Amino acid sequence: MSQFAPLKRRVRGAALLAALLCAGAAAAADGPVLGPLMTARPASASDAIPDFMAPGTGWTMINSNATDYADPPAGPKPITNDPKYPHVGNLQPGQKTERVADLANPILQDWVKPQMQKYNQEVIEGTIPFVATSLCWPGGVPAQLLVPTTVYFIQKPDEVIMIWERDQMVRHVYLNVPHSKNPRPTWFGESVGHYENGDTLVIDTNGFVEHPFSFVDNYRTPHTKQLHVTERWKITTVAGGGRRGGGQAGGSKGIEVTFTVEDPGAFTMPWGGMMRYRNEKGGIEEFVCAENNGNHFDAEKYAMPQAKTPDF
């Protein structure tokens, strides 16, 4: 268990109402503003709308290694561990190990490699690396897919709201509208989408923040402001596995998310990945993530910031 593991508490009750209020607040504070180029209009009547809301249920991640992407159906693959340093995740048998990125992956621009090598060397020497979710930071896109928790949907005629149970992180997807001309940079970017084939939500996202700790994965792979992500959330049948209730057999209703990442500033080519979720019964629970990473021995690289000087 990472020493960065956040303080958590789960309380059943009116958490969904709280999440809805949070969603509204997030839209006002962080979400893209509907302007002349983003006038909402209803989805086409010719396309059936897939049911992601699934009343009384949520969608729980079932990847075998919850915090790594699965390989895409075809094409260039995401960064994974250096073969010399096998990665063992929290949900896998054996002693957990931290991630050392494979810098031989051809998707990386040359300037990215020294920065990632620096992080690699710190891990090899024993430093616990930065992981957004362990520090209660937003994962961004596509990295929010790596949060090992349950995601819930609220579907409206002109918007889809995605709520991750962990810390009630909220993402807004505006339907059937183009991107705004100059989106305000945010952690989740500006997401617009549409439905396809009666079973798929297609999301196109740009407008991301550039920040030293904004990564596209858990291997500390950076991106630039040119980051552009396309996702396809498809309702389908998925294999067994899971985190709640000890897992289930295959053949369950689920979601398969395939995505493509483009960023000519950081990558030599587009690359992709996949995550899978299974539909499971259970209402959303309150899951509070609170920064509590102390710096007791003056050796904590990512300790919680502290105000040590007066403001006045």
CA distances from 60 to 47, 173, 181, 309 (A): 26, 20, 35, 43
| pLDDT value at residue 312 | 73
Which of 243, 51, 64 lies closest to 165 in space, CA to CA?
243
The total number of residues shown for the chain amounts to 312
pLDDT at 177 over 90: yes
pTM of the model: 0.80
Per-residue pLDDT band for 195 (boundaries 50, 70, 90) equals very high
In tens, the pLDDT along 92-139 reads 788 888 999 999 999 999 999 999 999 999 999 988 888 887 778 888
* Integer Cα distance of 247 and 245 in angstroms: 6
Q: 9 or 264: whose pLDDT is higher?
A: 264
Residue with tokens 């940079």: 185
CA distances from 167 to 25, 55, 81, 290 (A): 15, 21, 28, 9
Does residue 185 sit in helix, strand or coil?
Answer: coil
So where are the chain's domains?
Answer: 10-287
- What's the average model confidence in pLDDT over 261-268? 98
Cβ(68)–Cβ(87) under 8 Å?
yes
Per-residue pLDDT band for 166 (boundaries 50, 70, 90) equals confident
| pLDDT value at residue 279 | 92
| pLDDT value at residue 240 | 60
| pLDDT value at residue 145 | 94
Q: 2 or 83: whose pLDDT is higher?
A: 83
Average pLDDT, the chain: 81
pLDDT at 171 over 90: yes
Per-residue pLDDT band for 306 (boundaries 50, 70, 90) equals low
State both tokens at 102.
Answer: 């494979």
- Whether omega for the bond prior to residue 42 falls within 30 degrees of 0, making it cis, is no
Q: What is the DSSP letter of 139?
A: -
- What's the average model confidence in pLDDT over 176-194? 96
Per-residue pLDDT band for 83 (boundaries 50, 70, 90) equals very high
| pLDDT value at residue 284 | 83
Tell me, what amino acid is at 292?
A: N
Cβ(301)–Cβ(127) under 8 Å?
yes
Q: Which of 17-21, 146-150, 173-177, 228-232 has the lowest mean pLDDT?
A: 17-21
pLDDT at 36 over 70: no
In tens, the pLDDT along 62-78 reads 887 777 899 999 999 99
* Integer Cα distance of 143 and 105 in angstroms: 18
| pLDDT value at residue 252 | 83
